[in-house]
Amino acid sequence: MRILICEDSVLLREGLVRLLEHSGHEVVAALADAHALAETVAEQNPELCILDVRLPPSFTDEGIRGALELRRMHPSLPILVLSQYVEEQYASELIGTGGGSSTGGIGYLLKDRVADVSDFVDALERVGKGGTVLDPEVVSQLLTRRRQDERMQRLSDRERTVLASIAEGLSNHAIAQQLFLSLATVEKHITSIFQKLELEQDESGNRRVLAALAHLENNGGSAQ
């Protein structure tokens, strides 16, 4: 199988080259960043791409954004993402591009959980044949995110507004004044929010904090 690697770590990149070649595969390119990724794929026509999530220059999401762009340009190209982190939003989007008869395989593995060389090569070859290989931690985090998103969708527009005010740290009285509602109405909305977010009452009063965190997670860290 003709493979392209995009990995900024010299040691890991060279290690992958040797491992893959030893396993009978051909590495057609080994890139340190995603700057020329699209051009190299067009030139070399690899049968599978291995990409790190965080690449130069910002080391944030260049790699997985590059993977998504490759997926749009070459839907049948198998892609294996290697990362130290689960980038939930991008991972969900990338995994969502699989499953069609005309799309290539998709893999998302966490580097520190790839402990066996033969297992890694097997996973890579399954992706190359059109399969989907996901680290269990990736699956767990994506399911947790989806469940959180589904709970947030239960809220009415008014309840979302009240929750945003809670996330700003406002008291019930302040929320009532800000939204021109009675205190009783605000309390009714908050009770409904707790119920829809499945936040059980406890003695510590953590439900308000947990509700605020749910709002922030669903809105990318913004209180608004």
Q: Tell me the pLDDT tens digit for each residue of 68-79.
A: 999 999 999 999
* The pLDDT of residue 210: 78
**What pTM did the predictor assign?**
0.67
Look at residue 204 in the predicted model and tell me its pLDDT.
47
Written in H, E and C, the secondary structure of the chain is CEEEEECCCHHHHHHHHHHHHHCCCEEEEEECCCCCHHHHHHHHCCCEEEEECCCCCCCCCHHHHHHHHHHHHCCCCCEEEEECCCCHHHHHHHHCCCCCCCCCCEEEEEHHHCCCHHHHHHHHHHHHCCCEEECHHHHHHHHHHHHHHHHHCCCCHHHHHHHHHHHCCCCHHHHHHHHCCCHHHHHHHHHHHHHHCCCCCCCCCCHHHHHHHHHHHHCCCCCC
- Average pLDDT (135-149) is 75
91 and 26 in one domain? yes
Among the three residues 92, 114, 142, which one is the final residue of a domain in this structure?
A: 142
Q: Which two tokens stand for residue 128?
A: 């190359």
Closest CA to 109 of 68, 73, 138: 138
CATH of the domain at 117: 3.40.50.2300
Residue 147 is assigned to a structural domain of this protein = no
Residues 37 and 138 in one domain: yes
Q: What is the pLDDT of residues 168-220, one digit of tens each?
A: 888 999 999 999 999 999 999 999 999 998 887 755 457 887 788 777 777 65
Identify the pLDDT of residue 220. Answer: 58
Q: What is the pLDDT of residue 143?
A: 67
Parent domain of 79 = 2-142
- Whether 95 and 65 share a structural domain: yes
Do 84 and 189 lie in a common domain?
no
- What's the structural domain count of the chain? 2
Would the pLDDT of 128 be above 50? yes
**224 inside domain:** no
In a domain, 148, yes or no: no
- Asked if residue 149 belongs to a domain, the reply is no
Q: Are residues 129 and 188 in the same domain?
A: no
Which pLDDT belongs to residue 223? Answer: 52
CATH code, domain carrying 195? 1.10.10.10
Q: Give the whole-angstrom CA distance, residue 44 versus residue 159.
A: 53
Residue 89 confidence (pLDDT) above 80: no
Q: Which residue has the higher pLDDT, 140 or 184?
A: 184
pLDDT in the model for residue 205 = 56
Residues 35 and 64 placed together within one structural domain of the fold: yes
Structure tokens at 24: 């009978």
Share of the chain above pLDDT 90, in %: 53
